[in-house]
Structure 1
Amino acid sequence: MKNIYSVPRGEVVSYASAAEYEKNIPTMTESVNSIMTKINSTENLIGDNPLSVMHDNHIHHSKFMANIFKLNDYELLNNTLKWVLNSYVSRGFKSKYFQIELDTWISVIRDTLEPNYSSGIIKIYQWMKSALENIERENKNLINEIPYPFDSDWENVKNKFFNLLIKGNSAEALSFSKSIVHDRESLENFYSKVITYSMYEVGLLWEKGLISVAQEHLATSIVMRIISYLYMNFILIESSKGKAIITASANEFHEIGARIISDQLELDGWNVLYLGANIPNEELIKIIKEENPDFIGISVAMAFNINKVKELVAQIRSDSTLNYMKILVGGHAFTFGGDSKEKIGADKISFSIDETINTARLWWDDKSESKFK
């Protein structure tokens, strides 16, 4: 019996079709919004959520699918579908909303794009429809817990810090952080074992609908304030390695991961230029040429921004004067799996802080050794 839930194999959407889909996103999204708004008025598909949440979902969906079609990465699509269904159902969306939404997208795509562009795209949408029931069943049986890979003492510290974040207690969270961090080693541990896993759990609570967007934003704000304090008071390491630029991709506004990586690299002796989030590609390339870093690290939190990184990497690779520079990418977007460095064009896709630091060290050691050959 054919497994209709398996990831599409052998399906390739041409780049021309992907580009046509992307070009027509504004028109198609407007049509989908109009149709779904009318249906929702009689069937209440989105619970108590305002229409803006549904409309935002449609624009995020279209941008994400444009990425999928350009990359032809259906493992990423498969894993993201699970997260999306779980997140929106937890917030009051009815399960049938997704079937109706996909039917609407198929109809709008068929009406908007020429058949030679739409046929391959519609096949993927039809696969998504066939997978929804199985994904919903799997999500119900899924125990959503984030395994903690460190010892119980650090887990207790993480739990205390996490509870302060959820309570929104900024002063106590800062005071607690100061009681834990005394030197370079404790700072490194606090970043990798406490802050990182606390924010994973904040994200999981948001996904389950157990905390609001405001609570998630407050937790993020508290963490950024704490990181800034710790940076000013503890990171006074003399540079002993090369130069790195750390940033988040264009259209990306989540920067905690990039900031933690930046600070950890400085602790490791790198001269780091931390640029924050949402730097236009042209501006970033200009800075790269001015600063001549040994490598650039690019963080991507949202899966629909992956193609932005691919475009940036392509721009860098097309400039022969930048051939010397290594490119590392990472972030939450890649935890959904599927992407390889060949598809993105980077030298490395990193899945953890330790992997990033170790990769940077290897690159520096290779460069140092080559100077003496």
Structure 2
Amino acid sequence: MDNILVELKNINKVFAGNKVIDDVNLKMKKGDFVTFLGPSGCGKTTLLRTVAGFYEPDFGEVIINGKNVENLPPYKRNTPMVFQEYALFPYMTVFDNVAYGLNIQKENKAVIKERVEKVLELMQLSNLKDRYPNQMSGGQQQRVAIARALVMNPDVLLLDEPLSNLDAKLREQVRVELRLIQKKLGLTMIYVTHDQQEALAMSDMIVVINKGLIHQCGSPTDIYFRPKTKFVADFIGTTNFVEGSVKDRTGSEVQVDYEGSILNVISDEPIKINEKSVISIRPESIKLSKKNKSGTAISLKGIIKHSMFLGEKVRYLVVDEYKKEWIVDSFDSGKEILSGEVIVNIDKDKPHLIYER
């Protein structure tokens, strides 16, 4: 495909006898915001550094703009990286920090001034250009680090957990700014994080990694609502797992036996009659009521064991008639908090069958 900017082919990396990256194949489109997401130690930063050129793969190819680059040093790849620690020079002003890479390339002074001032304006840093890093907030320092990378006109901008040192409110503000800039410039960005909400909020494509393996690539909605493995369903947000066996199917309508009750699921997976299955159901996809509702995938009797008021939602822990515990999120519930006996209702299009073989 002509719009593929970065391609990884059969990438493998071993440290001290441990396979950190296991035969990764991945294509990333030009202009996309791609997030490598996974738990600590899963290999996402190693994969990012392999794209940057800080690590050489033990086997495989790194292709950028149609060129094989795994033998090129980082400074020849045009893939600047923004680090978690910012790595600003404390004795340089904001202007000089941002201009550093252009000075190293011995760019014309007039060109440097024009490009630095343009990116400072873009990052809303023009009024801070004469300050030093220790005179700035964490959020401002982070914007300087991003500006220093942007001024190089990168083919791909790499970001290694760049917002993890910021407090929650500032982190949300900076990630919105970063996404808006990425869209405005049409930049290709590869972003590493272990924060699921961050990945869902910012990405065009999420690459979920665990133990060096890619479990799933897809849009945020695909990853969240249509996880391909139990790991993905469990790692992204909160979910309820139901195990059962397939009793019948007609086209995409699948009937799963759950403790003698029939759970109706919509799925095109090639699962067969009597085959064991795992169903993922998100907490917000479950509705609680005092009476049975028609047209649901399943209705179960339950008792509310615990409830937590979390502002925008109430989270319930419900035990059904088969002693299974369910997590249920009720949004915009007003001041009413349910208690006692309830009916657990799940609509037909909400359960997701995980076909993991």
* TM bucket, shorter chain: under 0.3
TM-score (norm 2): 0.24
The structure in which a higher percent of residues are helix is 1
TM-score (norm 1): 0.23
